[in-house]
Amino acid sequence: MTLLQLHEPGETPLPHEGEQTLAVGIDLGTTNSVIAFSALGKPEVLRDAAGSGLIPSVVAYTEHGPVVGSAAQARLVDAPETVVSSVKRLMGRGAADVKTLAGTLPYRFDAADGGMVRLLIGDRRLTPVEVSAEILRALKIQAEQHLGREVAKAVVTVPAYFDDAARLATKDAARLAGLEVLRLVNEPTAAALAYGLDKAAEGIYAVYDLGGGTFDISILRLEKGIFQVLATGGDAALGGDDFDHAIAEHWLADRRSELGSEPITASEAKQTLNSARSAKEALTQREAGDFPVMLHGKTTLHRLTRLALDKLIQPWVEKTIAICRQVVSDARLDLSEIQGVVLVGGSTRVPQVRRAVESFFGKPPLSDINPDEVVALGAALQAEALTQGSDTLLLDVLPLSLGIETMGGLVEKVVDRNTPIPVAKAQEFTTYQDGQAAMLVHVVQGERETVADCRSLARFVLAGIPPMTAGAARIRVTFQVDADGLLTVSAAEKTTGVEQRVEVKPSYGLSEEEMARILEESLEHGRADMERRLLIENRVEGQRVLLALQSALAADASMLDAGEAERIEKARLGLARAIEGEDRDRIKAAVEALEEAARPFAERRMDRAIRAGLAGHSIDEFKGDPGGCLAPDPEEEKL
């Protein structure tokens, strides 16, 4: 047996050298998700074949199986009842946390089992954990295709204000996707890590993170490789989705007299919110636009200006600034001490948001790193640090206070918010009645003074307390919070040593037995499932191309000569046959063949559209306009 292996100088292998698995960084977002990989301290986003690093956090459940990303997003128009989006807002939460549109929830729910709700999608009953696992699995596949090796470990980011239930749900979603979570990192902390290392920044910085479903603000001190969070705050139910709801409700108000008392359906709510999101994104680049809304079979165009948008979203923007003010106070800082403000999250692209941030902090925000990608880049750096070693150190904090219930339904806080983690703290309690032989320990999280206003995390009973007069027993309750922000609580009676310990696992809809069953099935069918997913995604893309061709031919078939029509029809039939088969490479080749056959047709349609757009204008009007209509959309060139 070899007890010690010696190596010549300079030949000592690097830590983890020879491992077959890689660690990546994942930003699991409400609207979009991003995956990145870092080597030698240089992180990069892993992009798809089209060069995009953003995968829409959307899952469609088709007759062939789940589809993730742009292909799923496209089904919002034709089959919205099969699509789940913004699922991050439901992690660790229930139906009461979902915002309605005109009194209608965008999903059908089954909350009969308690805990986190289950979404009813067709004949499926799905928890948000399972839906999130589909997104993570798609990210894992993309990384493996890009890197050419198995990816089994990841650092996953979460909003700083995610509570214990949401953090645990995120970790379990990764397990279902076949990923070992090395660490959960708060999103603003990951962004600061990427920004600080990329720009060699030092000093005190604020990270303003406004995504699709959550808002966080963190104040960090960056100094010689140490990233210390001084204070954090936020709202796990505030983000760009609220902007979308405000726009959609505004449009519905315009049609209120026409709609009458007839309610809108869940599918119509999804479609209207999708159109509102498109309007919000469009108005980051232009001052006004007309946007379609389809209700009860009728589509109408609604005018929206950037000025009107600013008024609609003002209450939520002001709420983020109020939270910023509190966090700066918690950090015991003056605004003048903050050297810069880093913007994170797609919703920070909204001009009104940027103006509000600049006005409050008194300086233009820093946005020279893509706000959609900076979190994943920081997560990738941390993944590399945890597997290969690093000179940097992350010192994060607990976002919400932890405590236990005492008599009268009051909360005794044991670990205060903004305490650096990992941490262990203990406090002594005693009995309330003479001869009391057991104590119920109720663990809660939140800042309010009563249990009713805080979030319940766990309950357990410490039994075997020796009979004593009230107040004589000494029960020591210890809270331990790990680097992921997850909690373990123990209680011990000091005279007898009797002890009870619980790893806090809030209920969110999946039992341990269900988790074990799903994990076993995923391991057993992992490779086949991945191949099936790739086949389905290629089928969906093929169907999209066929629908686009059908629409183009219905409008402009007269532009084709007989030879072109024959070539296109031959390629169309080839793709239709390929879609019915099981060979994804054949489907991909058939898509390319059809697009090549239809290219001259598409180019003539594009030329005609440009001529129509220029009718009545001089070419000089468009000179020097970097966003002019002379730059064709690459997506429109296909068909």
Tell me the pLDDT of the chain averaged across its residues: 81
Tell me the pLDDT band of 98, cut-offs 50, 70 and 90: low
31 in Cβ contact with 88 (< 8 Å): no
Determine the Cα–Cα distance for residues 213 and 587; give it in Å rounded to an integer: 36
Tell me the pLDDT band of 364, cut-offs 50, 70 and 90: very high
Using DSSP, state whether 116 is helix, strand or coil. Answer: coil
Determine the Cα–Cα distance for residues 537 and 62; give it in Å rounded to an integer: 10
pLDDT at 634 over 50: no
The helices-and-strands tally (H runs, E runs) of the chain is: 14, 28
Tell me the pLDDT band of 43, cut-offs 50, 70 and 90: very high
164 in Cβ contact with 487 (< 8 Å): yes
Determine the Cα–Cα distance for residues 330 and 418; give it in Å rounded to an integer: 8
Locate 444 and state its tokens: 């809660």
Q: Is 0.85 topped by the overall pTM?
A: no
| 55 DSSP β-pair partners | 33
529 in Cβ contact with 521 (< 8 Å): no
* CA distances from residue 323 to 316, 366, 619 in whole angstroms, order as listed: 11, 19, 49
Determine the Cα–Cα distance for residues 10 and 16; give it in Å rounded to an integer: 16
- Residue ranges of alpha helices (H) inside 100-229 are 128-147, 164-176, 187-199
**What does the pLDDT read at residue 86?**
85
302 in Cβ contact with 251 (< 8 Å): yes
**What does the pLDDT read at residue 226?**
82
145 in Cβ contact with 16 (< 8 Å): no
Closest CA to 177 of 134, 143, 144: 134
**What does the pLDDT read at residue 631?**
34
Tell me the pLDDT band of 105, cut-offs 50, 70 and 90: low
pLDDT at 208 over 80: yes
pLDDT digits (tens, 9 = 90+) for 68-87: 988 888 887 778 888 888 88
Active site residue: 134, 163, 164, 209, which one? 209
Determine the Cα–Cα distance for residues 591 and 589; give it in Å rounded to an integer: 5
Alpha carbon of residue 313 to chain centroid: 21
Determine the Cα–Cα distance for residues 232 and 209; give it in Å rounded to an integer: 11
Q: What pairing do the DSSP bridges indicate for beta strands 203-210 and 423-429?
A: unpaired
303: buried, middle or exposed (CB in 10 Å: 19+, 13-18, 0-12)?
A: exposed
575 in Cβ contact with 542 (< 8 Å): yes
**What does the pLDDT read at residue 522?**
56
CA angle 402, 407, 409 (to 5 degrees): 60
Sorted by sequence, the CB contacts under 8 Å of residue 379 that are 6+ apart come out as: 24, 25, 26, 27, 36, 154, 155, 156, 157, 185, 190
Closest CA to 484 of 195, 264, 211, 163: 163
Locate 514 and state its tokens: 């269900």
CB atoms within 10 A of CB 10: 5
Q: What is the rounded radius of gyration, in angstroms, for the C-alpha atoms of the chain?
A: 27
- Write out the H or E segment, with its range, that includes residue 269: helix 266-282
Locate 60 and state its tokens: 């469609």
- b or e along 357-366 (b: 16 or more beta carbons within 10 Å of the residue's beta carbon)? beebbeeebb
Determine the Cα–Cα distance for residues 48 and 142; give it in Å rounded to an integer: 7
* Residue the block writes with tokens 């700083």: 160
* Lowest mean per-residue pLDDT among 52-66, 260-274, 380-394, 557-571: 260-274
> Is 583 one of the catalytic residues?
no
Using DSSP, state whether 457 is helix, strand or coil. Answer: strand
CB atoms within 10 A of CB 619: 8
Closest CA to 248 of 291, 191, 289: 291
Percent of the chain exceeding pLDDT 90 equals 26
14: buried, middle or exposed (CB in 10 Å: 19+, 13-18, 0-12)?
A: exposed
DSSP string across 358-380: HHHHTSPPB--S-TTTHHHHHHH
Using DSSP, state whether 297 is helix, strand or coil. Answer: coil
Q: Hey, what amino acid is at 63?
A: E
| 343 DSSP β-pair partners | 208
493 in Cβ contact with 475 (< 8 Å): yes
185 in Cβ contact with 379 (< 8 Å): yes
> Is 187 one of the catalytic residues?
yes
> Is 27 one of the catalytic residues?
yes
555 in Cβ contact with 604 (< 8 Å): no
Q: In what order do the strands lie in the sheet with 124-126?
A: 109-110, 118-121, 124-126
**What does the pLDDT read at residue 271?**
84
Q: Hey, what amino acid is at 184?
A: L
**What does the pLDDT read at residue 321?**
96
Active site residue: 130, 163, 187, 537, which one? 187
Q: Hey, what amino acid is at 342?
A: V
* Residue the block writes with tokens 């229930």: 94
pLDDT digits (tens, 9 = 90+) for 401-454: 888 887 767 788 889 888 888 889 988 888 777 788 888 888 888 877 778 777
Tell me the pLDDT band of 8, cut-offs 50, 70 and 90: very low
pLDDT at 250 over 80: yes
Q: Between 473 and 308, whose confidence is greater?
A: 308
* Lowest mean per-residue pLDDT among 236-250, 356-370, 543-557: 543-557
508 in Cβ contact with 115 (< 8 Å): yes
- Write out the H or E segment, with its range, that includes residue 293: strand 288-295
Instruction: Report all structural domains of the chain as residue ranges with CATH numbers, in order of start.
Output: 4-238+321-395 (3.30.420.40), 402-508 (2.60.34.10), 532-615 (1.20.1270.10)
